[in-house]
Structure 1
Amino acid sequence: MMQPQIILLKEGTDSSQGVPQIVSNINACQSVADAVRTTLGPRGMDKLIINDQGKSIISNDGATILKNLDIVHPAAKTLVDIAKSQDAEVGDGTTSVVLLAGEFLKQSKPFIEENVHPQIVIRAFRKATDLAVQRIKEISVKVKKDDKGEHRELLEKCAATTLSSKLVAHQKDFFAKMVVDAVMHLDELLPLNMIGVKKVTGGALEDSMLVAGVAFKKTFSYAGFEMQRKQYEKPLIALLNVELELKAEKENAEVRVDNVQEYQSIVDAEWKILYEKLDHVHKSGAKVVLSKLPIGDVATQYFADRDMFCAGRVPDEDLKRTLKACGGSIQTTCQNLASNVLGSCEKFEEIQIGGERYNLFTGCPQARTCTMILRGGAEQFIEETERSLHDAIMIVRRAMKNDAVVAGVNV
């Protein structure tokens, strides 16, 4: 009598194992390594990738390329994870880790084919890792943090080495100085989210600038903003999450009135509520009013008449960075706007950058923050510049936190 067949795995599952499967995994990983191999080094080439949405990405960054490749092989996916973890932990060297992993697998392939047990190969790799780490510690150079000039020069070299294989290699000295300035502007914890990056198309790469404070694109403006001042010295800043405009009721709003006077009283009440809010903001002494929600044309003109600047619909990220840098707190009401809930900075100004208007807050007392404003031709070009600078920022942060570096090649 035949034994009944027990199916443990779902239909279509590949349950191959042993040497052929390990070799198959190695081959898959080698294919991934070959995909990014030519991006490495000063003569490395960029890759053009079209994603599912039809957006084109031009990049030299290993992690970015692998993220956008639709890799389905499970073993090859581990190489993508290696690149992602390298990007998160160190920031640079994402291509190098993939190539090294691919090369190690390639060297182990003949041993696997000759039936050497994988555990023996792994044991050898572990021993080699210990020896490599030991050797790296021997040849590492201690960072002299006491000599400020030498320390800064070393950091600039680290940044330039990172940028030498990127799209911005020709401007690496310019950007290396900018990156070091940006990281040195932060406090001891070196929080990455306190470096903002804004992109403005047009202009040359050298037109990029570093703002020692918070900068964001001018938000949508209502009538009356032309009359507002564009520059203030030591202003108080009100950060709101309040809508300052007359609401047009649409859904589920039904008001029944018997005569015109009742209707007029409803309209008057609405105006009174708005003006009460505006009066409270004005009496607080704030000169700059930022809100996450819209600030309408009535409010804009009200503030303009009283020598105040306002901006509504400020993106959440920008509002939070302004909060951290300038102090104060985000208010959900206009009542009791005391001085302890208002922020402040040394200087506020609105300037023209390319085709955009930007609001700049400099001399922020609470937290040390800065904003990079990148310029360049095509959108993809600026995005790749941002990715390159992210790598350089991460490396400079790493060099400032650690007390030793290993020499790289700066061609």
Structure 2
Amino acid sequence: MSFGGQTPTVVVLKEGTDTSQGRGQILSNIDACLAIQDTLKPTLGPFGSDVLIVNEGKTTISNDGATILKLLDVIHPAAKILVDVSRAQDAEVGDGTTSVTLLAAEFLKEARQFVEEGMSSNVIIKGYRSACRLACAQVKELQIELKRKQADGTTDDPEFRELLKKCAKTAMSSKLIQVNSDFFADMVVDAVQCLDPNDLDETLIGIKKVSGGSMEESRLVKGVAFKKTFSYAGFEQQPKEFTNPKILCLNVELELKAEKDNAEVRISKVNEYQAIVDAEWKLILQKLEAILATGADIVLSKLPIGDLATQYFADRGIFCAGRVPAEDMERTIAAVGGNIQSTVSDIKPENLGQCGSFEEVQIGSERFNVFADCPKAKTCTLILRGGAEQVIAEIERSLHDAIMIVKRAIQNNHIVAGGGAIEMELSKYLRDLSRQIAGKQQLIVAAYAKALEVIPRQLCDNAGLDGTELINKLRSLHSQGETWYGLDFAHESVANNLDTFVWEPALTKINALQSATEAAALVLGVDETIKNEPNHNTIGSQPVPPPGGRGRGLPQGMPSMQ
């Protein structure tokens, strides 16, 4: 139906809604993702620079892709997809967070020309997914299995340990701790091998940070270490060192409470008040005697241990610590055995834990309680040292990446050569394959192959090398069948990175390719953005009445007071 020859305007979305759609919207989203790529490009590889981010007065210095993106507070909806992909890579594999973001943005950059020429984004997405499947299949074809068993069938193979160290050193090559990578690689492999081999739960690796000192003053405790807890008078009289102590872990408060805080008692004689006080003393002394009877040398509790109990234990040569954080208590149980008791009655010998040695030591300006040589140790603690808090925080992030890489190498013991070698090999493989494909898909697979070269090219740029010359040299070598040739920064040339031990778990590369391809497909699949602007005519959740309108709470017909 028409009205006077004019079609009426239909308003579906509320006023102020911003709608953008079509090819221009896809190109706009690609540009936003490329802006993220420009931020992260300089941080890639052994010669990548760090980024200093000041967020609400807190300074962070890092070259970890996931950390940088998390702190950038990205608001563009398409660019946020890259942030999510980076976080997913960090959670799943631990390393490769910068690589996955650069690859996703580069796939979009290569797709841009097809979008501008009017090609359907669905055709591009189909081609990219097909190329990703082929690339992942080729990684699985090329990957090399690390031998992890000796001839007698045992798994504590020193050769396998060396291979894990090489994977850890590769993960650290782009980090602040690169110079000390030998020292930290040993520490990381020892830490992961402390865990239960069936689940390798990295949360059981505790990390404590102590400012001051050099990086190499960091230490690994095969057991548990935590900062000295809040203590009362009498604490210093307690022994600070034990050999083969029995350890009792409690969730019991050992403290006298003021009567007025806990109860109301009406009394008529003074001696009745004394009887109440004596009863409370009798209760706590019964608890302490029950603990003494267990034969425990060390008493730990999640709840406070007051001055009376502290002095009682000191007089009897027992060490105690109250208000132990829950996380530290759980790791202590995992290391020494036993279990947490919520009452002091009927404690059996099997409820107590044991370790080889206990001591309270001074580390920097902090005092630590250290439980070492634990027979049941399925946990460990890294005590990190460094000149500044920002440095120690970056060491922690670097070690997290290395720990995750070693964990993945143990669980999935297949590796590929790093330093751009696997990317160049996949690029050559897909480029050759694309020539056998008919139609538009040939162009898309070739574009995917070209995008993979962003990793070695950016590694060259960050190291100040001639990227064009080295990439051409690598292309030539890979076309001759030299599968594992990649960049060699020590000699500013190319080398067989399998022989030079620049190794990465194959799982890292497969996960990065799949995540980056899915992110690119997601961005290319969005051709309309609808943004609802907040209604500025609101205070809280109640709309403000318009001028001259009916005021809230006014009877109908009464003029509003505007």
Distance in structure 1 (CA, Å) of the matches to 2:341 and 2:15: 58
Give TM-score scaled by structure 1 length: 0.96
Aligned twin of 2:212: 202
Distance in structure 1 (CA, Å) of the matches to 2:64 and 2:258: 49
Aligned twin of 2:184: 175
1:225-304 map, 5 Å: 225-249=235-259, 253-304=263-314
Match for 2:372: what amino acid?
T
Distance in structure 2 (CA, Å) of the matches to 1:252 and 1:12: 59
Distance in structure 2 (CA, Å) of the matches to 1:323 and 1:174: 29
Deviations 1:350-381 (A, max 9, x none): 11111111111123233421111100111111
Aligned CA RMSD, in angstroms, stands at 1.7
Question: Secondary structure at 2:18's aligned position in 1?
Answer: coil
The 8 Å contact of residues 223 and 377 in structure 2, kept in 1 or not, is answered as no
One of 16, 19, 25 as aligned partner of 1:12: 16
Question: Secondary structure at 1:15's aligned position in 2?
Answer: strand
The 8 Å contact of residues 246 and 296 in structure 2, kept in 1 or not, is answered as yes
Question: Secondary structure at 1:97's aligned position in 2?
Answer: helix
Aligned twin of 1:32: 36
**Residues 263, 10 of structure 1: CA spacing in aligned structure 2 closer, same or farther, 3 A cutoff?**
farther
**Residues 271, 96 of structure 1: CA spacing in aligned structure 2 closer, same or farther, 3 A cutoff?**
same
Match for 1:81: what amino acid?
D
Deviation at 1:70, TM superposition (A): 1.2
One of 125, 128, 147 as aligned partner of 2:128: 125
**Residues 252, 333 of structure 1: CA spacing in aligned structure 2 closer, same or farther, 3 A cutoff?**
closer
Deviation at 1:4, TM superposition (A): 6.8
Distance in structure 2 (CA, Å) of the matches to 1:228 and 1:113: 76
The 8 Å contact of residues 217 and 385 in structure 2, kept in 1 or not, is answered as yes
Distance in structure 2 (CA, Å) of the matches to 1:226 and 1:110: 73
Aligned twin of 1:64: 67
Distance in structure 2 (CA, Å) of the matches to 1:21 and 1:356: 56
Distance in structure 2 (CA, Å) of the matches to 1:55 and 1:76: 24
Match for 1:272: what amino acid?
K
Deviations 1:27-65 (A, max 9, x none): 01111111111111111111111223x211111110011
Structure label with greater radius of gyration: 2
Aligned twin of 1:155: 164
Higher mean C-alpha deviation, range 5-14 or range 128-137: 5-14
Aligned twin of 1:394: 404
Deviation at 1:67, TM superposition (A): 0.7
Aligned twin of 2:371: 361
Question: Secondary structure at 1:406's aligned position in 2?
Answer: strand
One of 312, 319, 330 as aligned partner of 2:329: 319
Match for 2:90: what amino acid?
D
Structure 2, gaps ≥5 residues long: 151-156, 420-487, 490-562
Higher mean C-alpha deviation, range 197-206 or range 150-159: 150-159
Deviation at 1:338, TM superposition (A): 1.5
**Residues 40, 277 of structure 1: CA spacing in aligned structure 2 closer, same or farther, 3 A cutoff?**
same
Higher mean C-alpha deviation, range 336-345 or range 112-121: 336-345
Distance in structure 2 (CA, Å) of the matches to 1:229 and 1:274: 22
Match for 2:38: what amino acid?
D
Match for 2:112: what amino acid?
K
Question: Secondary structure at 2:249's aligned position in 1?
Answer: strand
Structure 1, gaps ≥5 residues long: none
Distance in structure 1 (CA, Å) of the matches to 2:319 and 2:362: 16
Distance in structure 1 (CA, Å) of the matches to 2:383 and 2:374: 18
The 8 Å contact of residues 222 and 377 in structure 2, kept in 1 or not, is answered as no
Distance in structure 1 (CA, Å) of the matches to 2:262 and 2:146: 67
Aligned twin of 1:23: 27
Identity %: 60
Aligned twin of 1:98: 101
Question: Secondary structure at 1:289's aligned position in 2?
Answer: strand
Match for 2:309: what amino acid?
A
Higher mean C-alpha deviation, range 187-196 or range 97-106: 187-196
Deviations 1:153-206 (A, max 9, x none): 211111111111111111111111110111122221211122111111111000
